[in-house]
Amino acid sequence: AQKVTQAQTEISVVEKEDVTLDCVYETRDTTYYLFWYKQPPSGELVFLIRRNSFDEQNEISGRYSWNFQKSTSSFNFTITASQVVDSAVYFCALSSQDNYGQNFVFGPGTRLSVLP
């Protein structure tokens, strides 16, 4: 069975602080993809990153960075110098293929509040 755990339900930081959102996953598949999405109050899911299981290189995009550690089954997301506009719910997700097609599992989400 596949599972995504985001242990932090809610995080509050003050603007300009760095914050890391944790994501731990479980899967028996050797080929899989990991995602992070941002969900603003409108309900849309905004794609942030996709990482495949064979690429453990960390990635940086502006103030965002991701740390993929296959050994610990973690795919953590760090926002540097947070801003009020970063306030949202962030979902980590796991995707793989089985005989029936694509599986996609969301974590429970972490609500980030960035205070001015």
Which residues in this chain contact another protein in the complex, by CB under 8 A? 9, 35, 37, 39, 41-45, 47, 89, 91, 100-102, 104-106, 108-109, 111
Residue with Cβ nearer another protein (59 or 108)? 108
- Beta-carbon contacts of 107 under 8 Å, excluding residues fewer than 6 positions away, are 4, 5, 6, 23, 91, 92, 93
Return the closest-CA partner of residue 82 out of 24, 14, 31, 27.
14
How far apart (Å, rounded) are the C-alpha atoms in residues 43 and 105? 18
CB of 66 to another protein, least distance (A): 16
How far apart (Å, rounded) are the C-alpha atoms in residues 27 and 113? 30
Residue with Cβ nearer another protein (13 or 89)? 89
CB of 84 to another protein, least distance (A): 15
Residue with Cβ nearer another protein (52 or 72)? 52
